[in-house]
């Protein structure tokens, strides 16, 4: 008899997210974290990370920085005039 996993397990596995990916070159199952195929050395393209940018374009526009007061530069105190040498 051929053992066939019930649909429930398959659905659960898909819901959990695939943890393996197939190498397009040799078809070997490689972990998603693999950067290269351990069988043929195929280098997987970098994974796209869309976590930061939410749907709908940039969610947080760059806040306009108000005119920051310039760093208070203490003016050099006027040097006391030296007494003229007599
Ligand atoms: Zn491969």
- pLDDT digits over 36-63, tens only? 999 999 999 886 766 665 556 566 667 7
Distance between Cα 55 and ligand 1 center (Å)? 33
What 3-state DSSP class applies to 18? coil
Distance between Cα 29 and ligand 1 center (Å)? 8
Within 8 A by CB and 6+ apart from 35, the residues are 43, 44
Domain boundary assignment for the chain: 1-45
Q: In the prediction, which pLDDT does 60 show?
A: 64
Q: In the prediction, which pLDDT does 56 show?
A: 60
Contact 37, 44 (CB under 8 A): yes
The fraction of the chain above a pLDDT of 90, given in percent, is 26
22 has pLDDT over 80: yes
Q: In the prediction, which pLDDT does 55 show?
A: 59
Q: Is the pTM of this model over 0.75?
A: no
Class of residue 30 by CB neighbours under 10 A (exposed 0-12, middle 13-18, buried 19+): buried
Distance between Cα 22 and ligand 1 center (Å)? 8
């Amino acid at each position: 008899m051929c053992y066939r996993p019930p649909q429930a397990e398959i659905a659960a596995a898909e819901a959990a997210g695939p943890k393996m990916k197939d190498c397009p070159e040799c078809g070997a199952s490689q972990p998603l974290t693999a950067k290269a195929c351990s069988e043929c050395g195929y280098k997987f393209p970098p994974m796209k990370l869309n976590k930061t940018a939410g749907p709908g374009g940039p969610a947080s526009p760059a806040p306009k920085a108000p005119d920051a007061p310039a760093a208070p530069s203490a003016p050099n105190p006027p040097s006391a005039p030296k007494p003229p040498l007599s």
